[in-house]
Amino acid sequence: MDTSISLVDNLIELNSPVIIASGTFGYDGYGRGYESYSPLSKIGAVIPKTFTYFAREGNQEPRWYPTSFRQGTEDGETIFLNSVGLTNPGIHKGVEYLNDLRPNMPTKLFASISGDSIEQFAEMASEIAKTECDGLELNLSCPNTDTGSMFSHDAELVRSVISAVTKEYKNPVIVKLSPNVPNIVTIAESAVAAGANALTVCNTMPAMKIDIKTHKPVLGNVLGGLSGISLKPIAIALIHQIKSCMNVPIIGVGGVFSAEDIMEYLLVGASAIQIGSANLISPQAPMKLQDDLVNFMKENNFESLRDIKTFNVSD
Ligand SMILES: Cc1cc2nc3c(=O)[nH]c(=O)nc-3n(C[C@H](O)[C@H](O)[C@H](O)COP(=O)(O)O)c2cc1C
């Protein structure tokens, strides 16, 4: 079975469409929970947690909450709320971490960065350019302190930040979008016009839960981001909308827990997928999903993932 895919033609070839989503690489986002990284050679890529310009302590605890809207079912804890607040050591320590990780990482390694301003994004991109990372994912689900607007909500900010980053960083740039925008196509078009090589769709959805015993929100930060199975139909719809208008490589993310979930993303037009919440249940989840995908392909007579034909409304 051939699970290799071309994410960006002639630029990013992956041996598997399975990628570890930023913030969920092990229990701390930076690989805690793995005895050895060698099994990661099975999967396509790893994206450690986002680095910001300055170090961040993160939000008040509790920072994540498994919210089982379907308690007692097999789906159990497959919906999460989190508000970690981008706890990270800042870009300079981040570069040291990536340099230490690179020789031990038996698969592709993409860095993730997020800034408060276009200048911060550009400076961080030039720092990442000094590492041996295979690409850079821009986490745009953060506010621009100059305007107060989230980068990912404003097509003009998306254009400016990508133009600034691509001046400093010459390897592939992947742009991670937020789901809660009125028109995802406008944002995607702006990203591609400014030089994005691929899009990641999508980050978590703003959400909140109140504990009816304590009468308080379950997260210290009150609001958080929803991930897990509830996010999948949202991401699938966004990818369909983008792919109906333009031919850009997309990494689907949201609620991947099975080979069937991976297939659904590939059928809507994603070239690869990321696994987030499933890693919070087990750091071995990505390798298991890769094995499950190979078995699914055998059972359903798919020789190669390159044979999959994207769903098209007009067919
Ligand atoms: C605990 C936690 C921390 C996260 N941290 C980041 C982060 O640092 N950067 C980022 O771009 N996304 C972050 N995310 C979002 C994930 O990368 C992913 O987009 C999201 O969880 C949806 O995928 P899933 O449904 O498979 O979890 C985080 C998600 C979780 C659950």
Q: pLDDT tens digit string along 183-222? A: 999 999 999 999 999 999 999 999 999 999 999 999 999 9
Confidence label for 287 from pLDDT (cuts 50, 70 and 90): very high
- Position 120 in a domain: yes
Q: Helix (H, G, I), strand (E, B), or coil: what is residue 88?
A: strand
- Position 78 in a domain: yes
Could you tell me which of 260, 266, 201, 249 has the C-alpha nearest to residue 8? 249
Can you give the pTM of this predicted structure? Answer: 0.96
pLDDT attached to residue 76: 55
Atom of ligand 1 nearest to the CA of 21: 17
Share of the chain above pLDDT 90, in %: 81
- Position 314 in a domain: no
Share of the chain above pLDDT 70, in %: 96
- Position 53 in a domain: yes
Could you tell me which of 200, 197, 218 has the C-alpha nearest to residue 209? 218
Could you tell me the CATH number of the domain that includes residue 216? 3.20.20.70
Separation between Cα atoms, residue 80 and residue 18, nearest integer Å = 20
- Position 313 in a domain: no
Separation between Cα atoms, residue 261 and residue 254, nearest integer Å = 9
Q: ∠ at Cα 100 (98, 101), nearest 5°?
A: 60
Q: What is the largest CA-CA distance in the chain?
A: 55
Total domains, the chain: 1
Dihedral sign for Cα 35, 124, 23, 45, please: negative
Query: How far, in Å, from the CA of 134 to the mean position of ligand 1?
Result: 20
Q: Which residues have any ligand 1 atom within 6 Å of their CB?
A: 21-24, 29, 49-50, 64, 80, 82, 84, 86, 112, 139, 176, 203-204, 227-228, 231, 253-256, 275-277
pLDDT attached to residue 33: 87
Task: Characterise 195 by phi-psi region: left (phi > 0), alpha (psi -120 to 50), beta (else).
Answer: left
Give the domain extent around 28. Answer: 5-307
- The residue whose CB lies within 8 Å of the most ligand 1 atoms, and thus the one to mutate among 87, 277, 281, is 277
Mean pLDDT on 228-254: 96
Calculate the alpha carbon distances from 198 to 65, 146, 191, 221, 272 in Å.
31, 27, 9, 31, 10
Calculate the alpha carbon distances from 273 to 152, 192, 286 in Å.
20, 19, 10
For the segment 75-108, what is each residue's pLDDT rounded down to a tens digit?
A: 556 888 998 889 999 999 999 999 999 999 999 9
For residue 59, give every residue at least 6 positions away whose Cβ sits within 8 Å of its Cβ, in sequence order, or none: 83, 84, 85, 219, 220, 221
pLDDT attached to residue 75: 52
For the segment 153-181, what is each residue's pLDDT rounded down to a tens digit?
A: 999 999 999 999 999 999 999 999 999 99
Q: Is 202 among the residues known to form the active site?
A: no
- Position 315 in a domain: no
Strands 250-253 and 12-14: unpaired
- Position 11 in a domain: yes
Q: Crossing angle of helices 184-193/232-245, nearest 10°?
A: 60
- Position 104 in a domain: yes
Chain mean pLDDT for the chain:
93
